[in-house]
Chain A
Amino acid sequence: MSVTLHTAQTWLDEGRDVALATVVETWGSAPVPVGGHLIIDGTGDFAGSVSGGCVEAEVIARSEDVLASGKPELLEFGVANETAWGVGLACGGRIRVFVEKLG
């Protein structure tokens, strides 16, 4: 298990809002395997990763909505086509990321 979940617990203990993003599916080349975690707090601070860095910004942006509504979202990122959120993976892979609120 990544140390990211330990960090998530620390953030919760500090009273911060925390969103958890998990890689749930990958196709082709993907730098972070299924089960990889990224956590984001209410101010946009983050730890961990769901990719080599190419989709983190978009996941962080979407996490604001998830923290506000408390409703999870399933995001998909691909390459060179019209992806769900307009962000592509340079490595040529495709990933799905589940974003949910912790707490």
Chain B
Amino acid sequence: MHKDTLKALLEAREKRHSVVLATSLDGGGEDLVPENALTQDHPQANELAECFRTGRSKIVETQGGEMFLQAFLPAPRLMIIGATHIGQVLVRLAREVGVEPFVIDPRTAFATEERFSDVEIIAEWPGEALGKLGLDRRSSIVCLAHVPDIDDEALEAALGSECFYIGALGSSRSHAKRLERLKDKGCEPDGFNRIHGPVGLDIGSVSPAEIALSIIAELVKTLRIHNGD
């Protein structure tokens, strides 16, 4: 790989741009294709489009021999609504699995740097904060505030976005009430099955750390099994 290609790859990652690196396995060079530069004229247009869609890398046969198409999609992000104890553990677990965390909570007593050092913490209402960060299809969101005004606002934004995972803390009973409120606010019930509530894989979690683990496990499952990556 040419050193300029490596630089361009790292730059694309920084800017959250999707690229595919096409490398000839016979030693015949490489080509870095940005998603926004892909046209139907490209000899491997369909295969490249599939790489961008699924995030999966693969070998394709070309006239010049085998070519490896390596997909580099933006790192997944997790918007944590509620600067709570579960959120503190989630920040660490998310990082370990390559997911970039952000913490959003308008309650300034919760959203302090002392409680959340080393992570971007945004002491704003979710609607405003998520509007700035942008919920793209490589983003996910989990609502932990347990305050309806805060969580509902975040869920409204999430349902209106392409984000790949939505989780909301609370029992089945409180989740049912939450869906009623969202319906009253005009959210389309068709999208309600996108919300994982009660949140997390059922591993019998009790402590905040165990609940955080179950959430991150469910997020990885969604990313890998349902989305491809």
Instruction: List the interface of chain A (C-beta within 8 A of B).
Output: 1-2, 5-6, 8-9, 12, 20, 22, 24-25, 34-35, 71-72, 74, 98, 100, 102-103
Contact = CB atoms under 8 A, between A and B. Distances in A.
| Residue of B3, B13, B58 with most partner-chain A CB within 10 A | B3
The 5 A-B residue pairs whose C-beta atoms are closest, nearest first, are A35-B57, A24-B68, A72-B27, A34-B57, A103-B3
Contacts of A1: 9, 13, 72, 75
Contacts of A5: 6, 9-10
Contacts of A98: 23, 25, 68
B10 A102 contact: no
B3 A102 contact: yes
B68 A22 contact: yes
The A interface, classified by DSSP as helix, strand, loop or mixed, is mixed
Interface of B: 1-3, 6-7, 9-10, 13, 23, 25, 27, 56-59, 68, 70-72, 75, 98
B54 to A, nearest CB: 12
The B interface, classified by DSSP as helix, strand, loop or mixed, is mixed
A13 B1 CA distance: 15
B10 A103 contact: no
Contact of B2 (A2, A34, A103): A103
Given A5-B6, A5-B10, A102-B6, A34 B56 contact: yes
A46 B196 CA distance: 40
B125 to A, nearest CB: 32
B6 A24 contact: no
